[in-house]
Structure 1
Amino acid sequence: MIANPSDVRNLLESHYFLFAFLSSLGTLQIAVTGSGIRALWLTPYRRVTRWLGFVCIITGVLFFFGQPLFVDGPWAAGSVQADSTTRAWGVASWDELAGARNVNDIHGGLDGVDQAIWFSLAAIIAFSVSVVFGALSIKANTKELRVDAKLDDDDIDGLAGLVHRSYFSNLPISVRNFRLEARKFWRDGVRSADRWSLIKIISGGSNQ
């Protein structure tokens, strides 16, 4: 059976999306456990969450590159070394595994734009999953975190706030503080800059 480009593209898109999702999720978990941002942990426990991150990355890599061995696709044994237009549909052999996914984009492979779109979508979903599970993780550790007085400090926002609060609880505080800081900067910063305006300096109107 000759591989149909549309079938090839649909198959590769689903495989690449899962690979990008697991890799993004795993990388994010390793990063947030290292920095202590509990609001994005998949579990309430640092060590478990970190190991889960490594498992996600390894699973994604093995799944993506090893899948041609047990899933039918445009990499049937004996056809991988042939031109993309003559790829046969089937399971790849070990000898041809390295080139199994090397399919030209005009024959159903993923070009750079497709990869960028699917990777971005996978990364966003991985972050969203981390936010949801992180909220549950924070809730499970509420009693432990309440011992820390910083939990109720509204001056702590942004990434620092995610150490003690869920993303949903931290976002309104961060937005409010950002607005206050923006107003303060606009009021004081612009006024300070106006004192040093070239026209005032030349005319002697500057107070400095």
Structure 2
Amino acid sequence: MNTDPNTVRDLFASHYFVFAFLASLGTLQIAVSNSGIRGLWLTPHREMTRWLGVALIVTGIVVFFLQPMWVEGPWAAGSVQADSVTREIGIASWGELAGARNVNDIHGGLDGNKQAMWFPLGAILAFVVSALIGAVNVKTLRSLESSDENDSPTAAQTDDGLAGLVNRSIFANLPASFRNFKSDIAGVWRSGIESADHWSLFKMIFGRSSS
């Protein structure tokens, strides 16, 4: 290939990161709209959030695979062969689009290790964006529903964890979740150790497990 592999790798990484971000954001929106976790919605409405999630996934896929048609890279028309050594920098043709992204990692393509780094970063950014916009949506929804609420907290308003995100933003939900985590972790850890010890292979072999 007549170009620096590091340049190609940077190009691939940026494209893959955007793809991972959009796909993760769309998947998250479909999941939280189905479960009613309004603290992570990108819109104030369930159906709109769900369809936005579908649109984000489709957009991520389409943009990632069609980008070579308008972004210069190692897929110039006429140079896309089975061996990525022959690649030239340029715009891909429609007929060669299917193989445009098929670049060996030694020539700048992304190997599994790089993908394992960029995909989680895209997913984390998707969650952060959902949390920030979700906080605004929750505030908007609660202001619209304030006329129907009384001053005393309901059970839904005092929930924590994922249940708390149904009616609160992640920022309002974190303190209660963290307090419950600190109070429960010792018991969970202790019961987990006891359960693991009960099923100890050595105890089962030597017949000393409790009945």
Query: 2:12 corresponds to which letter in structure 1?
Result: L
Taking the aligned partners of 1:19 and 1:174, their CA distance within structure 2 comes to: 32
How far does the alpha carbon of each residue in 1:79-129 deviate from its partner, in whole angstroms, 9 at most, with x for none? 101521221001111111100000000000000000010001000000000
Following TM superposition, by how much is the alpha carbon of 1:182 offset from its aligned partner in structure 2, in angstroms? 3.2
Q: Secondary structure at the match of 1:141?
A: helix
With normalisation by structure 2, the TM-score equals: 0.83
> Larger C-alpha radius of gyration, 1 or 2?
1
Equivalent residues in 2 for 1:18-33, closer than 5 Å:
18-33=18-33
Equivalent residues in 2 for 1:85-124, closer than 5 Å:
85-124=85-124
1:157 aligns with 2:152: no
What is the aligned-residue identity percentage?
60
1:180 aligns with 2:183: yes
The runs of at least 4 aligned residues of structure 1 exceeding 4 Å deviation read 183-187
Equivalent residues in 2 for 1:131-142, closer than 5 Å:
131-142=131-142
Q: Which runs of 5+ in 1 are unaligned?
A: 194-208
**Which residue matches 2:202?**
none
Query: 2:113 corresponds to which letter in structure 1?
Result: V
Taking the aligned partners of 1:90 and 1:30, their CA distance within structure 2 comes to: 37
Query: 1:42 corresponds to which letter in structure 2?
Result: L
| C-alpha RMSD of matched pairs (Å) | 2.4
Query: 2:178 corresponds to which letter in structure 1?
Result: V
**Which residue matches 1:171?**
174
Taking the aligned partners of 1:15 and 1:59, their CA distance within structure 2 comes to: 13
Any conservation in 1 of the 2:40–2:135 contact (CA below 8 Å)? yes
Q: Which runs of 5+ in 2 are unaligned?
A: 196-211
